[in-house]
Structure formats: C-alpha cells, structure tokens
Amino acid sequence: MNIHTSKYKCSICGKCWRNSHELAVHTKRHSGEKLFKCNVCYKQFSTAGELVVHNRIHTGEKPYKCHVCDKAFRRSHDVSSHMRVHTEQKPFKCNVCDRAFSHSSNLKDHMRIHTGEKPYKCLLCNKCFTVSSSLSLHKRHVHRNSRPYECPFCGKLFKSNMDLKHHVHIHTDAKPYSCRHCSGRFTWIEQLKTHLLKSHNEGTWFTCNICQKKFATKGELKKHLVRHEDVKPYVCGECPKCFYTAFELTRHQPVHSDYKRFCCGLCGKDFKRAVTVKRHFKMCYAKRRFTNA
C-alpha cells in the first residue's frame, strides 16, 4: 500500500482506505451510529449505500444479473458468490478435515461440527442447533401445526412448499436428478449423491464419529446422530409415544385416525399410508395381468 493511502487508517482496526470519506463511512461501523432509516420498515443503517441495497427488498429490484443463467441479485458481490455455482470453485477450506465450500458462511456453519458449538436455541423447548436453518425446520415441524400446502394428487398436507415438491415425485415418477457420468436418473438428490459416491467415487462421505457409519449427505448423518443422543424430540399429540424424526412421527400418526387418504387406482380400495397403497397397487396390477392373460 502506498504512503498516500496509508494516511487514511482506522485507529480501531488498522484497516486502510483510499480517502477520508471512505474512512469516515467505515468508522461509523465501529461507533454503531446508524443515521440512515428505511421509510418502509424503519430499519436503520450506518451508510447510505446499505440503505439503498436494503430498499431493494421492498421494491423487488435486482439490478445485478448472472450472465450464465440470468438469475438476478440485489447486490453486485452476490453475483460473484453465485458464479461459483457455475465454476464449481470452493475457495473456503476447513483446516480440520479439508472440506471445501463455495461461501464463507457455509464454512462457518461447517466448523461448528468440529467445535460442537450450537448457537441457535429454540425458545420453546431449549433445544440447540448448529445452523439457523435447522432451528427453522425444528420450529416448523415440532411446534407449528399449520400445513397450508396440499398435494393435488392425494390431498396430503405439508408445512412447506419444498416438502410438497419433494412429495409430488411419488405420484409423477419424475426423476429430475441425473448422473453426469452415466445414464442413471434419480427421484431424490440424496439418491444421486449416494450413487456418485458408490459408483463413481465422487464426493465426500459423512462419517459418524461414534460408530463410524458412513452417509452420503450431511442431513442423513444429522438424523443418525440423534439416535446416539437417545433424544426423541417428536412427540405424538394423541399418545405418549416419541420419535427421533418428524418422518417417523408422520408415519405413526395414521394409527390414531380412520381417515384413508390413499386410494388404489385399479380397484378403488383405500389405505392410510402411501407405502401401503404402493405395495398393494403392484400386487393388484400383477393379479389383473395374470387374470387377463
């Protein structure tokens, strides 16, 4: 850095700036002074630039566009971060296990696996989580009963649109995840990741540090680790039975209801569970083929 630039040095953190204006703007971050207020939600910011970027949340403006996929962003540096999706660059590397990440925030979340830190706490049951997304899922599945998303095929209700999209594959038999090495196609992303690891040795196994069992995805490992803790956070509202996962609770709940939402398209027989109707359908189809032969 040249002598001229070094004149504008922050006395608190030592960072240098090109001119006095940039230094003055930077100094406000240390003082906590926030003079710029949003007229819509009244949130305050340290600089006018931060306020301009924030206002795009209310206006929906996204002036920065990716030249590869046309996805748009509110901030210019978001485009730079997004481009790593296309270039597959992973510059942020864990110094413990050598896993690499596209974004620094992902590395920060990952490091909590090694440190054991769980800064996100549920205020309703005091359970703690390593990442905020896990806390959000926990609150939605455990403490909220709202299920606004309905399957157009079977009427099953879901707490999120993502859960609904995941479920619809059962009915459409869609296989949107394809292997880039062979002709394999899969219904779920987890199936593709497992295939890549087993068949093409691509990716990283997630290993349980207690029993050394290996998993293709971080989510599968997290579900498995709950079983070692012997904690069953998902409690049935109809009986005292508890479960390790939300899926196990959902699978159990039809026991308390006479409602049969799944119907065989061949004979019209009704069933409580999707897995049961799928098994029945195969038998029904085979029986009809044999009868008509």
Widest Cα–Cα separation across the chain: 92
Q: Do 90 and 101 touch, CB atoms closer than 8 A?
A: yes
Q: How far apart are CA 106 and CA 203, in angstroms?
A: 17
Exposure string of 49-72, with b = 16+ CB inside 10 Å and e = fewer, is: ebbebbbeeeeeeeebebeeeeee
Residue 32: predicted pLDDT: 67
Tokens standing for 281?
Answer: 């359908």
Specify whether the backbone of 179 is left (phi greater than 0), alpha (psi in -120 to 50) or beta: beta
E strands, the chain, in order: 36-37, 44-45, 64-65, 72-73, 92-93, 100-101, 120-121, 128-129, 149-150, 157-158, 177-178, 185-186, 206-207, 214-215, 234-235, 242-243, 262-263, 270-271
Residue 1: predicted pLDDT: 40
Residue 293: predicted pLDDT: 61
Per-residue pLDDT 10s for the chain (293 aa) are 444 445 788 887 888 888 888 787 777 777 767 777 888 787 888 778 888 888 888 888 888 888 887 788 888 888 888 888 788 788 888 888 878 888 888 888 888 878 888 888 887 778 888 877 777 777 766 766 667 778 777 777 777 777 787 777 777 777 878 888 999 888 877 888 889 888 998 888 888 888 888 888 887 888 788 777 777 777 887 788 888 777 788 778 778 877 777 778 778 888 877 778 888 888 888 887 777 76
Helix then strand then coil, in percent of the chain rounded to 5, is: 45, 15, 45
**Which residue in the block uniquely carries the two structure tokens 């002036």?**
63
The residue among 16, 15, 50, 47 whose CA lies nearest residue 34 is 47
Q: Would you call 85 helix, strand, or coil by DSSP?
A: helix
Tokens standing for 203?
Answer: 């990716």
